[in-house]
Chain A
Amino acid sequence: MDGRFDTRRRLVLLTAQLSGPTATATVTLAVDTGAARSVIRPSLLLSVGCDPSRSASHIRVVSATGTERAPVVRVDHLLCAGTQRGPLWVAAHDLPSRFDGDGLLGLDFIRPGPLSIDFIRGRVFFSPRRWWRLWR
């Protein structure tokens, strides 16, 4: 959960800790700078006590196959690559079953800080690297 990822995989998949009112889950999320909001499979959200069917807020999700309405639910916090954000509002939306992750880590998680991805060593950093702090 320190931002290491498997460089053999085609996507940047990170281990994250998802915390809700009733449980804590270790999940795998794909870093996706093309997603404005983080997305997590509804089954996982329900399993940590965040029931998407009780959400009063929704967003419209447009994908290659059409437009759908997705509930937005509040999770207590999401911890990934040493960075914790929360409470965080994530979209509950099913992803293709053949996608080997549990969701997408979107710009709502990434944007408050810098993002650096080291594809050689397989590391993601959401906090300023030491050289960046010195340079600034």
Chain B
Amino acid sequence: MGDEYLTMAEIEAKYPGEWVLLDRPTKDRHGDVTGGRLVFHQADRGLLDAELLSRHLREFAVLHVYDPNAEPVYLITPWFEEEWTDDSTPAGGSSSSPPS
């Protein structure tokens, strides 16, 4: 893949239902992505993650292109229980721990 610059309209037309990784994305005044250098595209999220980790991009965008024909996916929210730290420091008890 030659890291070709594509606009969002081109990406949406070419890769419906796929994940795309863009290097140095261009944005509009609202901060929404208008295009970028296409580094990788793939329907399998795991493969995109592997590609993402193999590169060391300083500014990038990961987007899933909408596919109107895709089967709907329902997501059940995970439930978080109490926090703890490996060193038994109470959560929020030090600057290296998250606030409770």
Contact = CB atoms under 8 A, between A and B. Distances in A.
Interface of A: 1-2, 4, 6, 8-11, 15, 17, 22-28, 30, 32, 34-37, 39, 41, 43-44, 46-47, 56-64, 67, 72, 74, 79, 89, 91, 93, 95-102, 104
A57 B91 CA distance: 8
Nearest to A41: B49
Contacts of B97: 56-57
B72 A72 contact: no
A106 to B, nearest CB: 9
Given A100-B64, A100-B73, A46 B82 contact: no
A30 B87 CA distance: 32
Contacts of B85: 56-58
The 8 nearest A-B residue pairs measured at CB: A1-B31, A89-B98, A26-B61, A43-B49, A100-B64, A34-B77, A2-B30, A60-B81
A62 B66 contact: no
A102 B64 CA distance: 9
A58 B73 contact: no
A101 B31 contact: no
Given A11-B75, A57-B85, 18 more contacts: A4-B32, A6-B66, A8-B68, A9-B66, A15-B32, A24-B59, A26-B22, A26-B63, A27-B62, A58-B86, A59-B83, A60-B81, A61-B81, A79-B31, A89-B99, A99-B73, A99-B75, A102-B62
